[in-house]
Structure 1
Amino acid sequence: MEHLFLFRSQVHELKMRQMVEEINLGRHTIESAMAKYQVLTRKTVTQWLERVRQEELARTQAMKESAPKPVSTLVERVAQTADTLAGRVKQLEKELEQAELQVLYYKTVIRAAEQQLGVNLEKKSVTK
């Protein structure tokens, strides 16, 4: 008896999917499919359409997630590395400019202090 129930539900499922496919392909309107497959309410057909649509969305989403990520090519990796290095060079150039300005500031402060105090503050380098 249980096998008969499973068989009927499988036939019903097959009939439903066949009807939805014909509607989606434009072979039938909802009303003509209702008449052909002897479905009593439009709500039932729209529920089946929605159910099949949701299953299809879930299937395509699963396929997208399981698809392997494309490996970046050598050219793309080199370009990315070049961009990273160019950014680093710009950052280092800014730091160098700041350091040079700082050196100029300190030299100016030392010279002003030497003039006001009359004392030599800079260290003399003795080379042999």
Structure 2
Amino acid sequence: MRQMVEEINCGRHTIESAMGKYQVRTRSTVTKWLARVREEEHVRTQAMENTQKKPPTTLVEQVVQHADALTGQVKQLQKQLEQAELQVLYYKNVIRVAEQELGLSIEKKSTTQ
């Protein structure tokens, strides 16, 4: 199976010619083998990349990494704040329009002691 997949990936054979050479009856079997081998290679390369990633060795690298993480959090919080402000503006306009059209006082008045 692996030899056939390797030959297909290298371009030495098409799926049909490999099916004939290795006496495989269905194309779906070959495509499943191709997908399985690609997934295994992907998992293997990710595992190698994870082992090659070293934690920051110096204090400066640690501070830079922490600062990058904080910068990402700040950007995310800014987006959330922007969305919340737009939502507040939307609801205020909905309340204002509803008060004008229905003639009702919807907002709570803060005149209580």
TM-score by length of 2: 0.49
Larger radius of gyration: 1
